């Protein structure tokens, strides 16, 4: 009788092992506020409502492992919950965050978009306030700015709002002045505005004389190119690389 009971118990255990569920993880969808602002805290829970343990979690930002992203912490609560915590939101935290849950039988993922409203700011901190150009060449006035909502960028000279026309092109916040001439000298006001704020800065454009090559040493580089070095110009000494035009080694130009 005892042997029969033990045998029955062994059979039941094996049956339970055979019917043990083998489910892939399933993450509960999450939503985050769409009115986030700088300095606020943000927590994103990644909770698995079904799936066979053990389950492992991983987090990505814009498709790249979060790693040691400043101000971001991952807290592992238990076998079924992970939480992403941002102590103080900043521009660097904007992006798409993805939680991946994985077990032996498959994976699931959940993504949230962290969008934060912030006032415009210049795209570079070392933006030039003085731009020097050479008559006939191209000059760039950098008015690039970031912000959310995306700021509207304008460039004004005098009372004129400069748009893309003629020798002027405004591309992604950079004013491109082709074949610059004396009338292009002066102050250019850059403005960037969104519902949060408006910022302005002034960039001065001046012209200098055309570069005149006073002396140079040159050497053959290959059949179609040669290089010049130790160039002395009326402005500065520099090393330039030139190409041969019309098979004349004496007629060279910048490439």
- Is the CB of residue 44 less than 8 Å from the CB of residue 112? yes
Q: What is the pLDDT of residues 43-57, one digit of tens each?
A: 999 999 999 999 999
User: Dmax over Cα atoms in the chain, in whole Å?
Assistant: 113
DSSP 100-130: EEEETTEEEEEEEEE-EEEEEEES-TT--SE
DSSP annotation of 92: G
Place of tokens 């006032």: 119
Give the helix ranges, DSSP H, for the chain. 2-18
Percent with pLDDT over 70 in the chain: 74
- Is the CB of residue 251 less than 8 Å from the CB of residue 213? no
Model pTM above 0.85: no
User: Region 232-241: what's the mean pLDDT?
Assistant: 46
The pLDDT, as a whole number, for residue 127 is 72
The pLDDT of residue 105 is above 50: yes
The pLDDT of residue 246 is above 80: no
The pLDDT, as a whole number, for residue 8 is 52
Q: What is the pLDDT of residues 217-227, one digit of tens each?
A: 655 555 554 55
The pLDDT of residue 193 is above 90: yes
Tell whether the torsion through CA atoms of 236, 242, 245 and 248 is positive or negative.
Answer: positive
The pLDDT of residue 4 is above 90: no
The pLDDT, as a whole number, for residue 129 is 87
The pLDDT of residue 211 is above 90: no
The pLDDT, as a whole number, for residue 236 is 47
- Is the CB of residue 35 less than 8 Å from the CB of residue 59? no
First to last CA, the chain: 98
The pLDDT, as a whole number, for residue 253 is 35
User: Which domains are present in the chain?
Assistant: 26-114 (2.60.40.10), 119-207 (2.60.40.10)
User: Region 123-146: what's the mean pLDDT?
Assistant: 89
């Amino acid at each position: 009788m005892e042997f029969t009971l033990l045998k029955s118990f062994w059979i039941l255990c094996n049956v339970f092992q055979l019917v043990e569920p083998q489910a892939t993880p399933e993450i509960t969808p999450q939503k985050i506020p769409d009115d986030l602002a700088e300095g606020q805290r943000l927590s994103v829970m990644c909770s698995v409502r079904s799936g066979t343990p053990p389950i492992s979690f991983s987090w990505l930002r814009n498709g790249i492992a979060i790693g040691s992203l400043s101000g971001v912490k991952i807290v592992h609560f238990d076998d079924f919950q992970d939480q992403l915590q941002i102590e103080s939101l900043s521009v660097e935290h904007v992006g798409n965050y993805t939680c991946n849950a994985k077990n032996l039988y498959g994976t699931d993922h959940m993504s949230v978009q962290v969008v934060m409203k912030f006032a415009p700011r210049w795209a570079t901190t070392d933006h030039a306030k003085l731009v020097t150009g050479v008559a006939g060449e191209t000059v760039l006035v950098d008015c690039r700015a970031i912000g959310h909502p995306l700021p509207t960028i304008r460039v004004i000279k005098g009372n004129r709002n400069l748009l893309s026309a003629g020798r002027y092109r405004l591309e992604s916040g950079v004013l491109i002045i082709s074949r610059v001439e004396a009338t292009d000298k002066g102050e250019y006001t850059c403005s960037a505005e969104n519902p949060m704020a408006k910022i302005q800065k002034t960039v001065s454009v001046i012209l200098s004389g055309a570069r005149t090559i006073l002396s140079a040493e040159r050497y053959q580089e290959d059949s179609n190119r040669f290089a010049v070095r130790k160039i002395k110009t009326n402005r500065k000494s520099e090393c330039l690389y030139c190409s041969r035009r019309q098979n004349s080694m004496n007629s060279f130009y910048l490439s």
